[in-house]
Structure 1
Amino acid sequence: MVSQEENRSLSLCPLLEEIKSTLFNMNVNSVAGLDGLTVKSFQHSWHIIFEEVHSAIMDFFNDSPIPKFFSSTYIALIPKSNEFEAVSGLVFNKDKGCFVISKNVPPNRILDIKNFTGFSQATLPLKYLGIPLFKGRKKTFLFDGLLSTVHNRLASWDSKFLSFSGRLVLIKSVHASIPVYNFQVLFPTKTVVLRIDRIFNKFFWRGSSVNSKIHWSSWNKWCGTLQEGDLGCKSMTDLASAFSFKLCYNLRANVSLWANFMRSKYCGDLHPSNCLYSKGHYKVWHCLCQIKWKLKSCLAWGLGEGNIFLWQDRWINGLSLEALLNTNSRSMVRVNFFYSANGWDLDKLSSIIPDSIIQMIANISLNRNAKDALLCTFTKDGLFRTKDAWHVFRNKKESSKPFKMMWHKSIPTTVSILNLRILKEFIPTDELLRKRGLLFSSGWVAGRVGVLPEALVPDISF
């Protein structure tokens, strides 16, 4: 007998014709995998391989275990250099069926490791280093690569070519966009976002990793709108939260294959607010369970066909029945259960809902030919935008008219930043330098910018 969970999995499995249609609509020059075979080769041999392709896709949707060699990782030891230490290469070895990652180590240690492990070319499987072969390492390497990319991109610029204005433009338009793609599907740790913020902060104040200059403020304290006296940048923590919000919104809207899959796998017929995270669940689901309570008050439904939850969803003037009655229900009843041929079935409603709320419901007009619309309460038009979600999570500051005037389009950005630094006391006057423990005049400092010993320049970023 087929279980309910197996029925849900089977309902998600695509038909053979759907798989074929997807394949033949793909770019023929794109490469589907590490073997280098193009989509055109799959299309050309479809009459031979279609059964195997269909079988593999069915296995995926039926939660078959992924073979370990799909994510097996080996580390190739190479002599250590003075360059920024990071993952420096990722190559697929067809003979061994594994990924090879080159990692810098001291030259005198390579021979010792060779002798100890018996690997003649000092290529070690991760299990020899005490690292699990399959569980939980892919995300770590992705963030290592992200940090390496951000660091190297910023380190390649020199301060003598860039003013504060130029550095700000680079950070906002180029470098801050590097993590955005990753944050849409991965949820960085606090350590990762802090390291990225520090890289941005060091670049803004120093312009180059070579120079030694005072960090007058942490990057997080500079993030906010121009009207609030900040630089108009977004902290990585707030940006990651905004993208988590986006995923949670997509889950609730349930208009994509991903949302359909996640709700079928973790919710079944229950409302997402009644579903919890358990050990072993997908990490994305863990993040969604953490953020859904913040999202709850920010969403409301525009009623259409009525295929939304009667008790849990917010469809009565932006409120839910649970909120109006101060209850907590696990009911799976949908709103359209109380539709009648002419509108609302008020007799049905009166059997479970007080008259005062029935009157509120009776005033809601019905358009059963339209889809139910998920609306964001923090935007004027109800549409979701990540830049608007950012304001939901961040710590807002009081806006000021002088700050707004300071960034007028007729004023050069360099001048605006200078004015802002003066107002915030982020300039090397004698008094401010003494407050930071530097006992020499600002004139002496101005003549030696970029050449102060590291020990004499306090790094006050945090």
Structure 2
Amino acid sequence: MDIAVHRERIVPIYSRVSPVVSHLIYADDQLVLLRPSMRGMRELAAVMEEFGQLSDLRLNRDKSKVYFSNSCTLKEERALELGVEKGDLPVKYLGVPLSVNYAKDRDCQSLVNFAQRRVEGWQAAGLSFGGRIELVRSVISAIALFWLQSIMVPLATIRKIEGICAKFIWHGGIHAISWEQLCRPRKEGGVGLRSLVSVREAAGIKLAWRFLQGDSLWSAWMTSRYLRGRNFWVCEIDNNYSVSFKHILRNRPVLRTAIRRRMREGGETDLWLDPWISGQSLLEILGPQRDGVAYRGLTCRHIIRGGVWRPEEYRFTAPLGEEIRRVRITPTALSDVWIWAPPGRSEGAGEFRFSSCYDLVRPHFDEMEEYDFVWGKGLARKMQLSAYKLVLDRLLTRDRLLRFGVSVPDPKCVLCETDNESIGHLFFQCHVA
């Protein structure tokens, strides 16, 4: 394919500023990107035939499709020239719908159907409360995580899936504990499930982090296509940007709170615009003042001498100079890099962790005072969940059922038949219990 592009038999889709991407390969699948001329279609068919003759690996035309942009004309004729069927977007690949636009709720209906089929296949009546929670965590949440890290799943779809999970956990009955509370960590009064809304936000942060690393063809293409020499941290969102790049730019405020600059020579760090000083840039610290013109276009290398900061050479104030000196320098010939260092966690190797990213974006609550009593090692799993409902006052006693509007034959305790059945009565007052 590269030879065909080099000999101009095939003209790939590219611009003057972006890398040439003629084809992408994943396992035994290949995605070819080219301008849809009749000649290009014929040449691509010829290249595929030549490849088959040399390698004995033939193109399966029954499993292949060609997709055209909206501006392309004579689509059927061009597809016929290639000898494969014309397809329509969105197309499903590895179970996920791919499209050039935002994924719509109807595009993600298969994910909702998957969750619904799963819970219908599980015998909820024969499972304990803890068993239903584990199935949601290990199956439905895991598949949803794969989708959320691949595309931007609409919030409407996420709400449907969470509704299916909540209904399954409570076996279609009264939801004694809200889904939002179940999705809290155990120490904060939940059972450790993950909120899919927060997972969606964390997946967006992960996408922005991968772009910032700049070590992939995708990142290089996006940088050259959209930034075009502008700084990532101050680039404004343009309506002409792609869906994914807009999503990346919107996640910058949260991303910058979780990263730090590992300074080496300082040549790749913009002195004025990059947030290299405790998550802030000089532009933010000093403001868009006239003196900032003197720093623009400079890198941090200009204030490093012999592996030591020299902020006084540019007349920085003493407090700012001290803040700059706190930024650690690792003298080496390698480039400056961004490292993952969210608040409350040590920098370590600086590698990205989705768990810490999720913890960064999820809602936080006060710690549960009864945590050790509920989740202590001395209790069996079933007893832990019963104790959990107890401390939250969520056991479905008869007085609570009446508050929910459920008709009960008699509100009195079934054991002593003297006082109304409540948590306080059952655990502390009933002489029979």
What is the TM-score of this pair, normalised by structure 1?
Answer: 0.66
Instruction: Indicate how the Cα distance of structure 1 residues 189 and 138 shifts in structure 2: closer, same or farther if over 3 A, else same.
Output: closer
The Cα shift of 1:236 comes to 0.6
1:296 maps to what in 2? Answer: 256
1:314 maps to what in 2? Answer: 275
Q: Deviations over 1:441-460 (max 9, x none)?
A: 4789x9xxxxxxxxxxxxxx
Instruction: Indicate how the Cα distance of structure 1 residues 213 and 342 shifts in structure 2: closer, same or farther if over 3 A, else same.
Output: closer
Once residues 234 and 219 of structure 1 are traced to their aligned partners in structure 2, the CA distance between those partners, rounded to angstroms, is 10
1:184 maps to what in 2? Answer: 149
Specify the code of the residue in structure 1 equivalent to 2:143: I
Q: Aligned with 2:220: secondary structure?
A: helix
Q: Pick the aligned partner of 1:440 from 408, 413, 426.
A: 408
Q: Aligned with 1:179: secondary structure?
A: helix
Once residues 118 and 354 of structure 2 are traced to their aligned partners in structure 1, the CA distance between those partners, rounded to angstroms, is 25
1:250–1:259 contact (8 Å) kept in structure 2: yes
1:277–1:286 contact (8 Å) kept in structure 2: yes
2:63 maps to what in 1? Answer: none
Does 2:34 match 1:32? no
Q: Aligned with 1:300: secondary structure?
A: strand
Of residues 213-222 and 168-177 in structure 1, the stretch that sits farther from structure 2 once superposed is 213-222
Q: Pick the aligned partner of 2:384 from 413, 416, 421.
A: 416
Instruction: Indicate how the Cα distance of structure 1 residues 365 and 219 shifts in structure 2: closer, same or farther if over 3 A, else same.
Output: closer
Once residues 70 and 216 of structure 1 are traced to their aligned partners in structure 2, the CA distance between those partners, rounded to angstroms, is 56
State how many pairs are aligned.
356
The Cα shift of 1:371 comes to 2.7
2:103–2:153 contact (8 Å) kept in structure 1: no
Q: Aligned with 1:144: secondary structure?
A: helix
Q: Pick the aligned partner of 1:150 from 115, 118, 127.
A: 115
Give 5+ residue unaligned stretches, structure 2.
1-13, 33-44, 58-66, 77-82, 91-98, 415-433
The Cα shift of 1:69 comes to 9.3
1:299–1:314 contact (8 Å) kept in structure 2: no
Of residues 305-314 and 321-330 in structure 1, the stretch that sits farther from structure 2 once superposed is 321-330
Q: Pick the aligned partner of 2:336 from 363, 369, 372.
A: 372
1:457 maps to what in 2? Answer: none
Specify the code of the residue in structure 1 equivalent to 2:299: V
Q: Deviations over 1:386-440 (max 9, x none)?
A: 1111111111111135224422344222211111112222222121112112232
1:229–1:400 contact (8 Å) kept in structure 2: yes
Specify the code of the residue in structure 2 equivalent to 1:162: L
1:406–1:419 contact (8 Å) kept in structure 2: yes
Instruction: Indicate how the Cα distance of structure 1 residues 257 and 408 shifts in structure 2: closer, same or farther if over 3 A, else same.
Output: farther
1:269 maps to what in 2? Answer: 229
Once residues 84 and 310 of structure 2 are traced to their aligned partners in structure 1, the CA distance between those partners, rounded to angstroms, is 70
Instruction: Indicate how the Cα distance of structure 1 residues 142 and 42 shifts in structure 2: closer, same or farther if over 3 A, else same.
Output: farther
Q: Aligned with 2:393: secondary structure?
A: coil
Does 2:288 match 1:279? no
The Cα shift of 1:257 comes to 1.9
The Cα shift of 1:145 comes to 1.0
Once residues 188 and 102 of structure 2 are traced to their aligned partners in structure 1, the CA distance between those partners, rounded to angstroms, is 40
1:271–1:332 contact (8 Å) kept in structure 2: no
Q: Deviations over 1:284-327 (max 9, x none)?
A: 12222222112222222010242022122232355432233234
The Cα shift of 1:43 comes to 5.1
Instruction: Indicate how the Cα distance of structure 1 residues 187 and 172 shifts in structure 2: closer, same or farther if over 3 A, else same.
Output: same
1:204 maps to what in 2? Answer: 169
Once residues 423 and 143 of structure 1 are traced to their aligned partners in structure 2, the CA distance between those partners, rounded to angstroms, is 38
Q: Deviations over 1:355-390 (max 9, x none)?
A: 654465467545241232312332322332111111
Does 2:131 match 1:166? yes
1:338–1:345 contact (8 Å) kept in structure 2: no
Instruction: Indicate how the Cα distance of structure 1 residues 270 and 136 shifts in structure 2: closer, same or farther if over 3 A, else same.
Output: closer
Once residues 89 and 288 of structure 2 are traced to their aligned partners in structure 1, the CA distance between those partners, rounded to angstroms, is 55
Once residues 289 and 33 of structure 1 are traced to their aligned partners in structure 2, the CA distance between those partners, rounded to angstroms, is 27
Instruction: Indicate how the Cα distance of structure 1 residues 373 and 137 shifts in structure 2: closer, same or farther if over 3 A, else same.
Output: closer
Q: Deviations over 1:245-273 (max 9, x none)?
A: 11111122222222222222221211222
Instruction: Indicate how the Cα distance of structure 1 residues 100 and 319 shifts in structure 2: closer, same or farther if over 3 A, else same.
Output: closer
What is the TM-score of this pair, normalised by structure 2?
Answer: 0.69
Specify the code of the residue in structure 1 equivalent to 2:401: L
1:8 maps to what in 2? Answer: 17
Q: Deviations over 1:87-114 (max 9, x none)?
A: xxxxxxx87634699xxxxxxxxxxxxx
Q: Pick the aligned partner of 1:238 from 193, 198, 221.
A: 198
1:269–1:332 contact (8 Å) kept in structure 2: no
Does 2:407 match 1:398? no
| RMSD over aligned Cα atoms | 4.1
1:226–1:404 contact (8 Å) kept in structure 2: no
Q: Aligned with 2:395: secondary structure?
A: coil
The Cα shift of 1:68 comes to 7.9
